[in-house]
Amino acid sequence: MKTEQTRDLVPLEALTDAAARKRYWRSLEELSDSPEFQELLHTEFPPNATEFLDEVSRRRFIQLAAASFGLAGLTACTRQPPEKILPYVNPPENAIPGHPLYFATAVPVAGVAEGVLVETHLGRPTKVEGNGEHPASLGATSVHSQASVLDLYDPDRAKEISHLGVWQSWEDFQLALMQSLTPLRSGKGERFRILTDTVTSPSLGAQIQAVLAMFPGAKWYQYDPAGRHSARAGALTAFGRDVNTYYRFDKADVVLALDSDFLACGPGSTRFAHDFANRRAGGDRSNMNRLYSIESSMTSTGGKADHRLPLRYAEIELFARDLAASLGVAGLTTSGSQNHPEWISAVSRDLMAHRGACVVVPGLHQSPAVHALAHAMNSALGNDGKTVIYTDPLEVQSTDQIASLRELVNDMDAGRVDVLLTLGGNPVYNAPQDFDFRARLHKVKTTIRVGLHSDETSVECQWQVPETHFMEDWGDTRAFDGTLTIQQPLILPLYDSTSSLRLLDSILNPPGRSSYEIVQNYWQKTNGANNFEQWWRKSVHDGLIADSALPPLTPQLKTDWAQSLSSPGQQGIELAFRPDPYLYDGRYANNTWLQELPQPMTKLTWDNAVHLSPATAKQLNVGNQDRVELNYRGNKVEASIWISPGQPENSATIHLGWGRWHSGRAGNGAGFNAYALRPSDALWGGSGLQIRRLDKDYPLATTQLHQSMEGRDLILSATAAEYKNNPDFVSHETKQPPKELTLYPQWNYTGYAWGMSIDLTRCVNCSACVVACQAENNIPVVGKEQVLARRAMHWLRIDTYYEGDPANPRAFYQPVPCMQCENAPCELVCPVQATNHSSDGLNDMVYNRCVGTRYCSNNCPYKVRRFNFLLFQDWVTEQTKLQRNPDVTVRSRGVMEKCTYCVQRIREADIQSRVEDRFIRDGEVQTACQQACPTRAIVFGDINNHDNEVAKLKSLNLNYALLAELNTRPRTTYLAELRNPNPELKSNA
């Protein structure tokens, strides 16, 4: 480690004795005390001058009338406005007003399902929870599942059928569709084309096939800009056929990720993270797994790795080839690059030592060659069928999507298309730049678009048909292992919308059946069981079709596969495209929760950026928030720089999914459009990027400005070996004052005493907890201006710190909710009793009593309190009101708020148990963050009962309290992080 280099970069070094032990640092500009960097630090903060000119506040002007009502409701001496009660006319069965109902369904994230239970209050879906029986969820959720409920209520959804912008009825549309399709029948429908997203839904697949049967000349194209293009090509190279690959991390002792962010992104990541963490922090932690990560940009998985090697996108292929060769994969020669020999030898030895219990995971966006090499390595290591499972593809029809889209584009250009039916997707926005999809679309006679949003593609099409949200209609979908879920509607469609199923059915059997009939019919035909009704009910109820996972395959490597590998060339700065961790390919761009969710490593919100390594940035003479022009093969786009530690040299990573111009009020104009640079022959990047500095800067809103721990003992960590030698290292490093060290007598909590334990070894920085908290607790979104003004409202945040060499640092994640201190400093200073302790030791926050002195926030050492500086809560938009949790007070202007351990859930369980005259069982109350957490890093419960899981975890010798020396006695404590580096490999340990 470059000790001498980093030492003088730490500003507080001179004062902190801890500095000698650990060196932490933060955002790059602070690494240097140079005047420019100092200046940057100042300009990094936004002037508030413009805050009353922003778009949101203009809207707010109208909101004030409504707001004053809301405010009035919180005051003591104002009469409440009269309220009406509207009872049911015919009460539905099982519905008890005041109790939520849960329905099983599945969230399609990029066409791949995650099984969930949706909480509904009087028919309103309000919150998504994981489905414990579903293999992709196991009770947890991804950020996308959590945020999907907000998509349902997105006020910018497409709301009505229109033709050239004029409102039309469903009947008008059907007539027009028939009129344009009927003349095509004579040519067998040759001039009729269907373009969809990747389709994994069997019933939709069947519908499309039926339409194709009706129009034998018609063609069906699929296009997902961030799909598994490389994986398919790699599988074809290696096996000669397409396979779906998934991994069993619960059986893997050694994991090698080749540019894969499998813990936080991509299909199955929720399950993968779960298995990975269980293998890492299970039992007495003496048998940890080991993760090597070779990656082309800093990701959550890379930060979690025991050894991380930043390599440029193209270099990873060379590394994989060398590694494969050293593993003895047949028919392979080394690349001859001789790079990182110590890594090659150490990793290959480690993998070989764990044959059949290790796994090589290629990133979805890596090159086909890397996928093929990974298959070959897994095969050579005997992992097939053990840690690596192959199945048939999830898609109804696996195609080379780029080639097929190219064909469509050429046909459109040549005028060979009369009717183009686009179901989902958003090709005008996200098709490769060289396809010029938008211009060619206009050469089609009739263009029809079915989409959830009125997006870039919709506005370019003649017919816009709103699509139902998956919570509004029937459907089916597949999970990463092929498990099928029948999706059921939870609410009637909010708008005049239709599903793709229904639309296709109106072509097949006019006027078309309901989605329910279509899906049920399909399954009746497919299943053919005589007790179908029972099977159907059970499948719908359980949220999955039993035993529907695809059977494992054992594909054989082609003998000549290695010959088809080619060596990538490289020159200049390399450009790498990545799907955004939250917005994916841009489809979630109008989801404000995801827009404002801090990006895993950079904590950026509301923008994407060009990620450069510190050294490359210095070389190019650019700094954070500098505006630059990216020039890639002659295509240009303006973007902002963000210096990312751990990024390989001479490499720029940019995320897809931003810079949309017709996504709605949240997504429009957020970030820059990376698709404008994306060619069809270099989907995931290539070399030759030119970066020209423009003389302006552009503020980027990050929620964490400082990513160095300043030598403070905030995150305790040790290697597995160190822990073995010194199991009590935690108590040596923290300074918890003895309980007697106080003038005051103790409070005793004799009943329940709620507490939380957060295992830092398990946390993988996926941020599902943050969105879950936001959904559960009615937390408002504040917008970029206010994030810049440091007023983000997340009750739970994940602090990300870096340590070590900026070129390749270690990263640490620490979720920080309210600590619920027993000696809470915040309570002491509240003048109006608005925050104080409940009898079960919760740090209550009484919103309606708060007058807003903000003293509590000042006195909170953890800074977990959030304040409604302005009217952040949306009191106007009807749709967003429907999402709100009725069990949590909606806070208005001028009120402090914070995490309460989801006290509404505690009280509900408390009441339920008392009604039943029993005690609350362990695990009966789960906080929203705990429930969403894929890795079970968060455990909550009564610490007075020593049999409870949380009490057991707190009794481990890894348990420590954050800032224990302040004697706040937090109820939330952490388990120190353990890592398992390979003693053979020195670097990045």
- Site residues for other proteins, 726-785, by CB under 8 A, read 744-747
Q: Does 971 bind other proteins (CB under 8 A)?
A: no
Nearer to other proteins, 39 or 984 (CB): 39
Which position among 58, 442, 790, 946 is part of the footprint of other proteins (CB under 8 A)? 790
Residues 9-28 that bind other proteins (CB under 8 A): 11-12, 14-16, 18, 26
- Binding residues for other proteins, how many (CB under 8 A)? 129
Classify residue 156 as exposed, middle or buried by CB count within 10 Å of its CB (0-12, 13-18, 19+): middle
Binding mask 138-177 for other proteins (x = CB under 8 A): ----------------------------------------
Tell me the torsion sign for CA atoms 30, 32, 33, 35: negative
CB of 97 to other proteins, least distance (A): 4
Residues 340-359 that bind other proteins (CB under 8 A): none
- SS3 for 524? helix
Nearer to other proteins, 124 or 280 (CB): 124
Which position among 443, 627, 837, 881 is part of the footprint of other proteins (CB under 8 A)? 837
Q: Residue 703: what are its φ and ψ, rounded to 5°?
A: -95, -10
CB of 58 to other proteins, least distance (A): 13
Run of H or E including 29: helix 28-31
Residues 85-124 that bind other proteins (CB under 8 A): 85-91, 96-99
Q: Does 858 bind other proteins (CB under 8 A)?
A: yes
Q: Does 876 bind other proteins (CB under 8 A)?
A: no
Which position among 443, 627, 712, 952 is part of the footprint of other proteins (CB under 8 A)? 712
Q: Does 840 bind other proteins (CB under 8 A)?
A: yes
What is the rounded CA–CA span in Å between residue 476 and residue 303?
36
Nearer to other proteins, 12 or 178 (CB): 12
CB of 408 to other proteins, least distance (A): 47
Q: Does 554 bind other proteins (CB under 8 A)?
A: no
Nearer to other proteins, 181 or 796 (CB): 796
Which position among 771, 895, 920, 953 is part of the footprint of other proteins (CB under 8 A)? 895
Which position among 1, 9, 37, 71 is part of the footprint of other proteins (CB under 8 A)? 71
Is 887 within 8 Å of 794 (Cβ atoms)?
no
Nearer to other proteins, 32 or 859 (CB): 859
* HEC sequence for 457-510: HHHHCCEEEEECCCCCCCEEEEECCCCEEEECCCCCCCCCCECHHHHHHHHHCC
Nearer to other proteins, 764 or 895 (CB): 895
Nearer to other proteins, 61 or 547 (CB): 61
Nearer to other proteins, 472 or 887 (CB): 887
Nearer to other proteins, 395 or 840 (CB): 840
CA 471 to chain CA centroid, nearest Å: 19
CB of 703 to other proteins, least distance (A): 9
Is 367 within 8 Å of 684 (Cβ atoms)?
yes
CB of 814 to other proteins, least distance (A): 8
CB of 185 to other proteins, least distance (A): 43
Residues 599-628 that bind other proteins (CB under 8 A): none
**Structure token pair of residue 654:** 């940019």
**Structure token pair of residue 122:** 């009087």
CB of 81 to other proteins, least distance (A): 9
Q: Does 51 bind other proteins (CB under 8 A)?
A: yes
Q: Does 944 bind other proteins (CB under 8 A)?
A: no
- Could you tell me which stretch among 371-379, 496-504, 638-646, 905-913 binds other proteins (CB under 8 A)? 905-913
Binding mask 801-820 for other proteins (x = CB under 8 A): x------------x-x----
Q: Does 789 bind other proteins (CB under 8 A)?
A: yes
As a residue count, the chain comes to 989
Amino acid code (one letter) for 51:
E
Q: Residue 786: what are its φ and ψ, rounded to 5°?
A: -80, -30
Nearer to other proteins, 440 or 893 (CB): 893
- SS3 for 190? coil
CB of 170 to other proteins, least distance (A): 22
Which position among 330, 403, 529, 911 is part of the footprint of other proteins (CB under 8 A)? 911
Nearer to other proteins, 725 or 839 (CB): 839
CB of 829 to other proteins, least distance (A): 5
Q: Would you call the peptide bond into 310 cis, given omega within 30 degrees of 0 as the criterion?
A: no
Classify residue 533 as exposed, middle or buried by CB count within 10 Å of its CB (0-12, 13-18, 19+): exposed
- What does 127-148 look like in DSSP terms, one character per residue? EEEE-TTSTTTTT---HHHHHH
What is the rounded CA–CA span in Å between residue 241 and residue 390?
11
Is 496 within 8 Å of 161 (Cβ atoms)?
yes
Half-sphere exposure of 431 (CA within 13 A, CB side): 28
Q: Does 491 bind other proteins (CB under 8 A)?
A: no
Nearer to other proteins, 698 or 919 (CB): 919
- Could you tell me which stretch among 1-9, 645-653, 672-680, 885-893 binds other proteins (CB under 8 A)? 885-893
Is 128 within 8 Å of 775 (Cβ atoms)?
yes
- Could you tell me which stretch among 308-316, 380-388, 495-503, 839-847 binds other proteins (CB under 8 A)? 839-847
Residues 29-48 that bind other proteins (CB under 8 A): 38, 41-42, 44-48
Residues 270-289 that bind other proteins (CB under 8 A): none
What is the rounded CA–CA span in Å between residue 161 and residue 172?
9
**Structure token pair of residue 518:** 């279509």
Binding mask 950-969 for other proteins (x = CB under 8 A): ------------xx--x--x
Nearer to other proteins, 350 or 710 (CB): 710
- Could you tell me which stretch among 128-136, 355-363, 525-533, 831-839 binds other proteins (CB under 8 A)? 831-839
Which position among 385, 869, 882, 959 is part of the footprint of other proteins (CB under 8 A)? 869
Using the CB atoms, write b or e for 961-979: b if 16+ within 10 Å.
Answer: bbbbebbbbbbbbbbbbbb
Which position among 839, 878, 946, 986 is part of the footprint of other proteins (CB under 8 A)? 839
Is 482 within 8 Å of 97 (Cβ atoms)?
no
CB of 764 to other proteins, least distance (A): 18
Is 829 within 8 Å of 810 (Cβ atoms)?
no
Identify each DSSP E strand in 564-650 by its residue range: 573-579, 604-605, 610-612, 626-632, 635-643
What is the rounded CA–CA span in Å between residue 945 and residue 943?
5
Q: Residue 326: what are its φ and ψ, rounded to 5°?
A: -75, -20
CB of 891 to other proteins, least distance (A): 9
Contacts of 242 (CB under 8 A, 6+ apart): 232, 235, 236, 393, 398
Residue with tokens 């979908």: 477
Q: Does 907 bind other proteins (CB under 8 A)?
A: yes
CB of 801 to other proteins, least distance (A): 7
Q: Does 877 bind other proteins (CB under 8 A)?
A: no
CB of 938 to other proteins, least distance (A): 18
- Could you tell me which stretch among 337-345, 381-389, 577-585, 891-899 binds other proteins (CB under 8 A)? 891-899
Contacts of 573 (CB under 8 A, 6+ apart): 616, 650, 651, 652, 687, 688, 689, 690, 691
Closest CA to 266 of 231, 237, 233: 231
What is the rounded CA–CA span in Å between residue 120 and residue 127?
7
